[in-house]
Structure 1
Amino acid sequence: MISFLISIAALILGYFLYATFLEKVFGIDRNRTTPAYHLKDGVDFIPLPTWKIFMIQFLNIAGLGPIFGAIAGAMFGPSAFLWIVLGSIFAGAAHDYFSGMLSVRHNGLSISEISGIYLGSWSKHLMRFFTIILLLFVGTVFMMGPAKIIDGMSSHILNFWIWVFIILCYYFFSTLLPIDKLISKLYPIFGIAMFVMTIGLILVLLTGEYHVPEIKWGNLHNMTSYPEQTPMFPILFVTIACGAISGFHATQSPLMARCIKSERNGKFVFSGAMITEGVVALVWAAVSMAYFGDVRGLNIAMETHGHNTAWAANEISLNMLGGIGGVLALIGIVAAPITSGDTAFRSCRLILADIFKLDQKKVSKRLYISIPLFITAFVLTQIEFDILWRYFAWSNQTLAVVVLWTITAYLIREQKLAWVTYVPAVFMTMVSATYILIAPEGFELPNIYAYIGGAFLTLLVILLFQNYVNNKQGNILKAINIWK
């Protein structure tokens, strides 16, 4: 339990210390007019209260990741705590803050267009394809996931596909309507449910007879039932994505970059939402280990129920919180993915609008983009959920890689401390490259060959980036000098 409490304290300190440091590295301009004002259109560019923007950003990026991902990640043991804390502070907070603030500085542009500015046209085209595919995966996964949970909660009163249709209808309207008409009014309610759930679980852990494994050398090994089939590196670092670092976040930040009133609010909105999500992931990882007795008990329970994280989340919520608390927790579990799914489609609409330079003031222009998106998403619902989730997990972290290299290129050009994103960019490149080589949905190579191949691909990316920077912006070795 001590390790769990120290981990929460570390995340909070990470916000006040490291996030403040990142803000200084970026160099905010308190007097600069934000896109919410000089591009105000009454649809997407609308000044909103900072607390609402934070709530929307938090719920946008949370989804099922810090719950389902944390439960699955907890099967590895207390090592999950370390990744959540270190990943959230040194990778996620930097990724989210800079991607959000770059969008603010570039008139609310989507991350694909920003990548094109700093990494060249090839990156822009790659990112356009990648982000659209990722967002379609997210929207589809977060239609089916909540539908499954609601179907189970309601004892199958309605057909599963009826729930999918209801959620799809909500997504359609939330994608089309101005952001202050539906999203900004519903999200505070959903946010309260999420916070009640998290605080309730913390209190139960502290007051109940639960044992949370400590972070100590003897516990920092792979505790899954079949470690040779699920090597900690890279599987853990892809499994726990939204609770540490997630490329999906960079697709959501432009929504809030179009609503933020001042650059000084960026730290609270972007880094703050990431750190808050890290706390949620940490809590779910801890309760997963504690509720089932220990890490071994969690692994056995998950194997018995076909690795169904939705079942585990329901079981934990109803039995640890009981009654009203359990219902509120389940509302939070349902709300989290829905509030990511709706903005996934909205982000997709905005990216396509940026690509084709379509003004979004008229509903007809929004319909031109939205209708094909929802038709495609419905077709994707016919694919098995687990397959969609696995491809989402890898594409999510690969997107984070490109975003980190984009930010690094920006920092180099501005002669700022590029090491704050260069180091996590290298690490996450190795994670994504190794994962696609080792995973069943990838090339499924033997572990040793996957590690060698991952190292080779990472070195290749570093050299290509070095060459690009040398040709375009100067020597990267000077830019990442910590003493600069």
Structure 2
Amino acid sequence: MSWFLLAVGLLLAGYFFYGKFVEKVFGPRPEQATPAVTMADGVDYVPMSDKKIYLVQLLNIAGVGPIFGPILGALYGPVAMLWIVFGCIFAGAVHDYFSGMLSVRAKGASVPVVVGEHLGSAAKHFMNLFAVLLLMLVGVVFVLSPAGLLANLTSSSVVYWILAIFAYYILATIVPIDKIIGRLYPLFGALLLFMSVGLVAAMLLSDKPLYSAGISLANLHPSELPLWPLLFITIACGAVSGFHATQSPLMARCMQNEKSGRFIFYGAMIGEGVIALIWCTLGLSFYDSPTALNATLAHGGPAAVVHEVSIGLLGQVGGILAILGVVILPITSGDTAFRSARLIIAEFLKMPQKPIAKRLLIAVPMFVVGYLISKADFGVIWRYFGWANQTTAVIMLWAAAAYLAKEDKLHWICTLPAVFMTAVCITYLANAPIGFGLAMLPSSLIGVAATLAITVLFLLKYRSGALAAKAPAP
């Protein structure tokens, strides 16, 4: 119990202290009108209250990531809790804050435009393709996972639920953001928080105490999978996730004051970190050992753990409600994933999105492709999603670091997490079966060497650029 409370306390302290420091470095301008005011169109640019935006942002970024990832991460032992806490405070929340605030400064632009503005046109073109690919993978993952959970609760097939969720996604993607997302998501967000707290309370009242054996850096994975770099790919949402960079611009188009950015962007990531901690702790506490947890995962994946833990702690009725709360997460991220993809494609094609016919022109082919991707093996999709997700985070962190360097501000708050995550992603790609399949030692050497080279190039380019900007005009 003490370790869980300490971890939650550290996350909250991170919001109030480090989050305030990050905000000061960026320098919000409360007097400057935001895109929600200057570009209101009644479809995507719609002013909303801070509390509503916070809950929508939380649901947008959450998905199954802060549940499935931490459950899988619990196999490594309590070291997973450390990554959630420190990754969230110093990397994930910083990433989310800058992806949101730089979008505000760029008139609500999507992540490819933001990246291009600070890293150049080549990076913009790459991100146009990469972000849409990531969002399609996210959308498909967030169809298949809730469809599986709903199929377990009902007599209907997985295929039925896939089609039903896709039908909802089409509707939510094309209607104005305040008609479905703005009205229902705050209620769903409150339900999610209630269910998460309810599971912790039920755990405290059960005969299975919350994990309190102490924090250890030891790798306890029963299959002896390497801690480096797999833990940092496995636990993405809840620590740092590039998917969030595609979602923050949605709320950047609705925020009415730049001072709200810390609460909405940094704060929502801290909220997701708490959810991730809850499920990581439940994974460590509900099962007697990582081996027992692994046995359940082997028979039905993270969805089986969610079902077993929820029913075991809350009974049949309460367990079903908790599972429905978990189902809401991926559905409310999947629809905004497709919505973000529509907007990125529209920006690339310079196609206005106020007419519904224009929205359908992009959405219909996009969902056809999404449905075809959903026919592939889920495990393969998930592995590609994990790497693509963290690589997107790397690019966004470098873009934020470039912005700060050009502004002659403390870029290290973004550069350091960018360096770490670059090494993670390159090492994983070199080692993983979906990449080059090299042994871990050469993979790590490649990851470190490539990261060092990228860092040196960044420092040379943007330090010289900042010095040139400060030089007096002739």
Pair 159,209 (structure 1): closer, same or farther in 2 beyond 3 Å: closer
Are the counterparts in 1 of residues 222 and 290 from structure 2 also a CA contact under 8 Å?
no
- Corresponding residue of 1:251: 246
How far has the Cα of 1:475 moved from its partner?
A: 9.2
- Corresponding residue of 1:186: 184
Question: For residues 52 and 294 of structure 2, what CA distance do their matches in structure 1 show?
Answer: 38
Write the deviation string for residues 211-255 of structure 1: whole angstroms up to 9, x where unpaired: 4444746x321111122xx21010000100001000000000000
Structure 1 range deviating more: 366-375 or 65-74: 366-375
Aligned pair 1:460/2:453, yes or no?
Answer: yes
- Which letter maps to 1:224? H
- Corresponding residue of 2:193: 195
Are the counterparts in 2 of residues 112 and 131 from structure 1 also a CA contact under 8 Å?
yes
Are the counterparts in 2 of residues 58 and 273 from structure 1 also a CA contact under 8 Å?
yes
- Corresponding residue of 1:288: 283
Question: For residues 325 and 104 of structure 1, what CA distance do their matches in structure 2 show?
Answer: 41
Question: For residues 279 and 357 of structure 1, what CA distance do their matches in structure 2 show?
Answer: 39
Write the deviation string for residues 26-68 of structure 1: whole angstroms up to 9, x where unpaired: 1111111010010000000000111111111000000000000
Pair 431,190 (structure 1): closer, same or farther in 2 beyond 3 Å: same
How far has the Cα of 1:190 moved from its partner?
A: 1.6
- Which letter maps to 1:18? Y
How far has the Cα of 1:416 moved from its partner?
A: 1.0
- Corresponding residue of 1:358: 351
TM-score, normalised to structure 1, is 0.94
- Which letter maps to 1:289? L
User: Which residues in structure 2 correspond to 1:167-316 (within 5 Å)?
Assistant: 167-214=165-212, 216=214, 219-227=216-224, 230-303=225-298, 305=299, 308-316=301-309
Are the counterparts in 2 of residues 466 and 475 from structure 1 also a CA contact under 8 Å?
no
Report the secondary structure of 1:188's partner residue: helix
Cα root mean square deviation, aligned: 1.6
Of 443, 451, 457, which aligns to 1:450? 443
- Corresponding residue of 1:42: 42
How far has the Cα of 1:317 moved from its partner?
A: 0.8
Are the counterparts in 1 of residues 110 and 249 from structure 2 also a CA contact under 8 Å?
yes
Are the counterparts in 2 of residues 78 and 214 from structure 1 also a CA contact under 8 Å?
no
- Corresponding residue of 1:423: 416
Question: For residues 318 and 16 of structure 1, what CA distance do their matches in structure 2 show?
Answer: 35
Taking every aligned residue pair, what percent have the same amino acid on both sides? Answer: 46
Are the counterparts in 1 of residues 296 and 304 from structure 2 also a CA contact under 8 Å?
no
Question: For residues 159 and 321 of structure 1, what CA distance do their matches in structure 2 show?
Answer: 25
Question: For residues 105 and 142 of structure 2, what CA distance do their matches in structure 1 show?
Answer: 30
User: Which residues in structure 2 correspond to 1:20-169 (within 5 Å)?
Assistant: 20-154=20-154, 157-169=155-167
Of 399, 410, 418, which aligns to 1:406? 399
TM-score, normalised to structure 2, is 0.96
Unaligned runs of 5+ in 1: 479-484
Unaligned runs of 5+ in 2: none
Question: For residues 370 and 296 of structure 1, what CA distance do their matches in structure 2 show?
Answer: 44
Report the secondary structure of 2:76's partner residue: coil
Which stretches of structure 1, 4 residues or more, deviate above 6 A after TM superposition? Answer: none
Question: For residues 316 and 474 of structure 1, what CA distance do their matches in structure 2 show?
Answer: 56
Question: For residues 29 and 189 of structure 1, what CA distance do their matches in structure 2 show?
Answer: 30
Question: For residues 198 and 289 of structure 2, what CA distance do their matches in structure 1 show?
Answer: 20
Report the secondary structure of 2:176's partner residue: coil
How far has the Cα of 1:295 moved from its partner?
A: 2.8
- Corresponding residue of 1:440: 433
Write the deviation string for residues 387-416 of structure 1: whole angstroms up to 9, x where unpaired: 101100000000000000000000011111
Aligned pair 1:378/2:360, yes or no?
Answer: no
- Which letter maps to 2:148? K
Question: For residues 416 and 226 of structure 1, what CA distance do their matches in structure 2 show?
Answer: 45
How far has the Cα of 1:294 moved from its partner?
A: 2.9
Pair 145,300 (structure 1): closer, same or farther in 2 beyond 3 Å: closer
Are the counterparts in 2 of residues 211 and 293 from structure 1 also a CA contact under 8 Å?
no
Report the secondary structure of 2:46's partner residue: coil
How far has the Cα of 1:359 moved from its partner?
A: 1.1
Question: For residues 374 and 175 of structure 1, what CA distance do their matches in structure 2 show?
Answer: 10
Are the counterparts in 2 of residues 90 and 424 from structure 1 also a CA contact under 8 Å?
yes
How far has the Cα of 1:297 moved from its partner?
A: 2.4
- Which letter maps to 1:221? A
Q: How many residues align?
A: 470
